[in-house]
Amino acid sequence: MRRFFESVGRRTVDGWRAQRDNLEFLGETFAAFGSILVHPRRFRFGDAALAFQRAAFDGLPVTTGIGFLLGVILAFESAAALQMFGVEVYVADLLAIGLFRELGPLVTAIVLAGRSGSAFAAEIASMKADEELDALTTMGLPPVRFLVPPRIAAGVFAMPILTIAAELAGLVGGAVVLQMMDVPTAVFWEHVTDTADAFMISFGLVKSAIFGFIVGIVGCAAGMRTAPTADGVGTAATRAVVGGIVSIAVADGLIAVLCHLWGV
């Protein structure tokens, strides 16, 4: 019985320490962005451009492929039900609403968490294992300000680009499926343009930018808070992917609730 209470107490203390470390990291991150706003030259544009290239352009093929398959699957599944009523043309409306408002940003964010979130965590964890972070501290360079803002900015700006690519690929996939069901492509795109207004598209892009911020900050936090060992690199990558996906799901749920309350 004593060991049980000791285990519970130890896990509770470890949990509180982890939350304290996370809050400390958040504070340092926002302080770093505040410092950059005051002194823009401190921002490492070269690191941000490299991280953006790896997150956005290198991720376009897999994101586009997944978006195309997502559109094909959604079109087939929804057309199977709507075809019984002879209104399979409204699959275009369903795809436009689903991709632009919800599935496009969500699926793209999950892909980004798997590709770039884990990469951010592994890079920083490797630097920590090699004592490069200690070297930065010794030289008077705060590691958070030096490493985190460029990667978060890359995630924020890469997500809308990847989201647009995934959404367009999904619509192309849906158009191919409806073409097989004798629905003209011109009719398909007419329904898409009538359904997807500027607010819907902008809402999805803003949501994608929020998801990109989450992926960046969770990945960097996993790398900064891991153990300085070779095993810690793998642990950091795992935490970045799992934590990023869970955080994205929670954020998406909160946004859905707020949209319902505000009537958006």
What is the per-residue pLDDT across 230-241, written as a single tens digit (0 to 9) for each? 778 888 999 999
Spatial distance between the Cα atoms of 27 and 78, rounded to a whole number of angstroms: 45
| Domain segments of the chain as ranges | 42-262
| Nearest Cα to Cα of residue 78 among 60, 61, 107, 103 | 103
- Does residue 5 surpass a pLDDT of 70? no
Return mean pLDDT, the chain: 89
Spatial distance between the Cα atoms of 167 and 68, rounded to a whole number of angstroms: 8
Using one digit for the tens of pLDDT, what is the confidence trace for 69-113?
999 999 998 888 888 787 888 999 999 999 998 999 999 999 999
Q: How is residue 140 annotated by DSSP?
A: T
pTM over 0.75: yes
pLDDT tier at 214, thresholds 50, 70, 90: very high
Mention every residue, 6+ apart, whose C-beta is less than 8 A from residue 244: 109, 113, 117, 214, 215, 218, 219
pLDDT of residue 144: 87
Using one digit for the tens of pLDDT, what is the confidence trace for 112-125?
999 999 999 999 99
Q: How many CB atoms lie within 10 A of CB 187?
A: 13
E strand intervals along 38-77: none
Q: What is the 3-state secondary structure (H, E, C) of 185-250?
A: HHHHHHHHHHHCCHHHHHHHHHHHHHHHHHHHHHHHHHHHCCCCCHHHHHHHHHHHHHHHHHHHHH
Cα distances (Å, whole numbers) of residue 103 to 59, 120, 136, 183: 17, 24, 41, 23
Spatial distance between the Cα atoms of 156 and 162, rounded to a whole number of angstroms: 11
pLDDT of residue 1: 66
Q: What percent of the chain has a predicted confidence (pLDDT) above 70?
A: 98
